[in-house]
Structure 1
Amino acid sequence: MKNFSQSLVDNKEKIIERWLNKVCEDSRIESTYGLSRPAIINHLDHVLTALAIILAQDKKDNFETVVEASLNHGILRAEQGFDASEIAREYHLFRQIIFSTIEDCLLQATAAEIMQTIRSIDSVVDEAIARCFQSYTEQRIEELENLQNQLALHNQELTRFARTSQDNLSYLAHEIKTPLTSIIGYSDLFLRIQKQKSEIKSTYGNLEHIEQVLTSGRKLLRLINNALEISRLETGETKLKLELINPRELIEEVVHMLEPSLGKKNINIRVDSQKSPQTVITDSLKLQQIITNLLSNAIRYTESGEIEINCETIDESRWKIVVADTGIGISEEDLLNIFNPYYRVAPNSTSCVIDGTGLGLAIVSQLITIIQGEIRVDSELGNGSTFTVILPLQIQNK
């Protein structure tokens, strides 16, 4: 089988390049969006090298390299947010391209050589898949445990919040009920499957259950965090931490952080900070949260088009940040309520799916008041929205 081995060695770069293009073009592998070339390829080179050695019969078992590389690959894919189906799909494409590459050699081989080659390739790729899913599952379970610990820690503060403020409590309970029910249901199902020690073929289903738990858990945690933030702001527990910052750099950091949330949306984010003040004295964390919430809101309510962030000096004592989008817009009736906690603008279009807690703009309004600013909104239903935040160049510490 040395001809097959040499074919893989000679065409290694070609195989990797073809696989990379296939994975990036595959609509069923969405998590590659925004990832660098090395981050996508990861362990492929190690698997091909091990496969070439086994086919050359220089060593009967050369799985150590595959095992270590695939374990690391599973951890990486978990951190990158891949679904189990996406990992299975990328290995499926990998196997296809390997066989396509050595097809000419296979046509010239004997039946025995063909069978032995196919078994060797399958054994290496199957071992890589098994080890990858092993570490991927362990990483997901660890993430689930960490999430559980965070929810437990937040539970005490949420209880305190419920005791001190009954306003909107019934709404909050309703919002928590759905993801919490999902967490309990899928957790119970996953644990029962684990106790039964089901066969490997059910691995994909188990991983999907973990994904459902994590998704619901993150949504619940986000809701709790926002509710607690509103509680702290309303009770005056938040204090100013003033420092000298460069607003242009802060805006660029927020944009870079939120770019992955664009997903498949056809949105161009443009930043104009040519007239921005060089420095301002403010609370950087609160300002960052304001910009993050406004930009997240613009992305959430915009399916395609442009989001523009403008930052400029107004006069010797004031500056402003403007976030404008080409989204669904806001009606006159909704404009009167958008800064109220738990209020959400309902989209008219079924193509725009809104997933939020209704607390983002309420938090923005409270934070702007704390850092001694004001916010204005201009919007028309169907024609986008413009949020203008006016702030002092230097906050007066009272």
Structure 2
Amino acid sequence: TINLADTENTPRLIAVAHTDPDKESLVWKLQQENRTPQTNYVFDTGESLGGYYVCKGSMALIAFNQEQRQLFRELQCHSYICVPLWTREQIIGSILCVWGHTPRSYTEADLKLIEDLAYRAAFAIENARLYKEAQEAARIKSQFLALMSHELRTPMNAIIGFSQVLLRQRSGKLAPQQVSMIERIHNNGKNLLSLISDILDLSKIEANRFELKPEPLNLVQLIATTLDSLRPLADEKKLKLRFASEVEEIEIHNDRDRLRQILINLLSNAIKFTQEGHVTVTLETPCPKTLQLTVEDTGIGITPEDKVNIFQEFYQVDQTSTRQYSGSGLGLAITKSLVELMGGEIELESEVNVGTTFRVQLPVQVQIA
């Protein structure tokens, strides 16, 4: 039998087993009120208990009452061992083994074996509990992030909208300094809204509530328009933003907005971490059902240590207090999750002070699970 402690540290029977399934009901009855003297002793002292030989005269010592003594007789108890389940200096349960049918007795060697099994069982039980607690904590976190993201989007949209109205009506009514301040409000508002959207996406992905909306689209055209939207950022740093495709057109079935999000995340990262040289997007079709997108830059590169964690949520390549490159650390984590939701894979190659290459392989036809 296996007992586990409840919230009040009281032994609670959770499992029984017998070589004869018909007698398992007797074992359940034996654990009347979820306890026997052996279980209580182990829980109270934390020590193993071995009754290597049980005779009629000692039956009173192993049972609380006449009913339990009768059950021990029906089970033909000749010997027993009860050991604690220890974890982190705390007893979380016990295992009671009873030998019946044949007049064999447990030995010291049996005790050591059962103690070893109990140690492994306690370790597994504790890990399962910790995993369950971690899953629940992650669920609560995702629920909180989703709720807060929804609550923050409304006021942020209002701030962005009203600042945009002021900028449109600024002629002759606002001083240059006021215009500059409103532009900062507007731009920072858009940045914050983008962060809120990322957090909301992440919470949906973690909660398995993220849905793709595949549709027919021209991938070459999508890449070209995405590059055009980011070209001003590259021009500010005098970077060459290039696109090379082995096909003039390719019709695919995918989520347009999420595919664009993947491209923007990879390209904006490449532009941000590249001071001179180029950022190049390459489109290939290694086989009829698969396409490969490559984003290559001549930037600062990624160290082997950072490569291990680069797709982790909130991970920053530069984690110093005076870090040069801003960002939430969510872009690549979301990108990887989106690629995998589409049934694809993403990998990277990088060399410090040489550059980084991200390769994304996706099916031409994305299926909704």
TM-score, normalised on structure 1?
0.48
Structure with greater helix share of residues: 1
Give the conservation status (yes or no) of the 8 Å contact 2:142–2:206.
Answer: no
Which of 227, 231, 235 aligns to 2:207? It is 235
- Aligned match of 1:223: 195
Rate the CA distance shift 1:301–1:167 in 2: closer, same or farther, 3 A.
farther
Q: Deviations over 1:249-291 (max 9, x none)?
A: 1110110111122242021011111247622222222111111
Which of 164, 170, 195 aligns to 2:140? It is 164
- Aligned match of 2:252: 280
* Mapped partners of 2:329, 2:225: distance in 1: 24
* Mapped partners of 1:281, 1:384: distance in 2: 31
Q: Deviations over 1:182-204 (max 9, x none)?
A: x9xxx9xxxxxxxxxxxx99934
Give the conservation status (yes or no) of the 8 Å contact 1:313–1:320.
Answer: yes
Letter in 2 for 1:359: L
Letter in 2 for 1:337: N
Rate the CA distance shift 1:218–1:246 in 2: closer, same or farther, 3 A.
closer
Letter in 2 for 1:164: I
* Mapped partners of 1:240, 1:208: distance in 2: 39
- Aligned match of 1:392: 363
* Mapped partners of 1:294, 1:337: distance in 2: 16
- Aligned match of 1:250: 222
Unaligned runs of 5+ in 2: 1-137, 164-171
* Mapped partners of 2:344, 2:296: distance in 1: 18
Unaligned runs of 5+ in 1: 1-161, 188-199
By how many angstroms is 1:357 displaced? Answer: 1.5
Rate the CA distance shift 1:390–1:207 in 2: closer, same or farther, 3 A.
same
Give the conservation status (yes or no) of the 8 Å contact 1:276–1:311.
Answer: no
The alignment-based identity, stated in percent, is 37
Q: Which structure has the bigger radius of gyration? A: 2
* Mapped partners of 2:189, 2:256: distance in 1: 29
For the residue of structure 2 that corresponds to 1:281, the secondary structure is strand
* Mapped partners of 1:214, 1:278: distance in 2: 37
Q: Does 1:326 align with 2:298?
A: yes
Which of 309, 317, 331 aligns to 1:360? It is 331
- Aligned match of 1:373: 344
Rate the CA distance shift 1:216–1:270 in 2: closer, same or farther, 3 A.
closer
* Mapped partners of 1:298, 1:243: distance in 2: 28
For the residue of structure 1 that corresponds to 2:242, the secondary structure is strand
Aligned-residue CA RMSD (Å): 3.4
Give the conservation status (yes or no) of the 8 Å contact 2:289–2:364.
Answer: yes
By how many angstroms is 1:167 displaced? Answer: 10
* Mapped partners of 2:257, 2:357: distance in 1: 23
Q: Which aligned pairs between 1:242-321 and structure 2 lie closer than 5 A?
A: 242-275=214-247, 278-321=250-293
Q: What number of residue pairs does the alignment pair up?
A: 212
* Mapped partners of 1:353, 1:168: distance in 2: 30
- Aligned match of 1:341: 313
* Mapped partners of 1:356, 1:283: distance in 2: 25
Rate the CA distance shift 1:244–1:341 in 2: closer, same or farther, 3 A.
same
Give the conservation status (yes or no) of the 8 Å contact 1:277–1:312.
Answer: no
For the residue of structure 2 that corresponds to 1:346, the secondary structure is coil
Q: Relative contact order (C-alpha < 8 Å, sep 6+): which is higher?
A: 1
* Mapped partners of 1:166, 1:241: distance in 2: 22
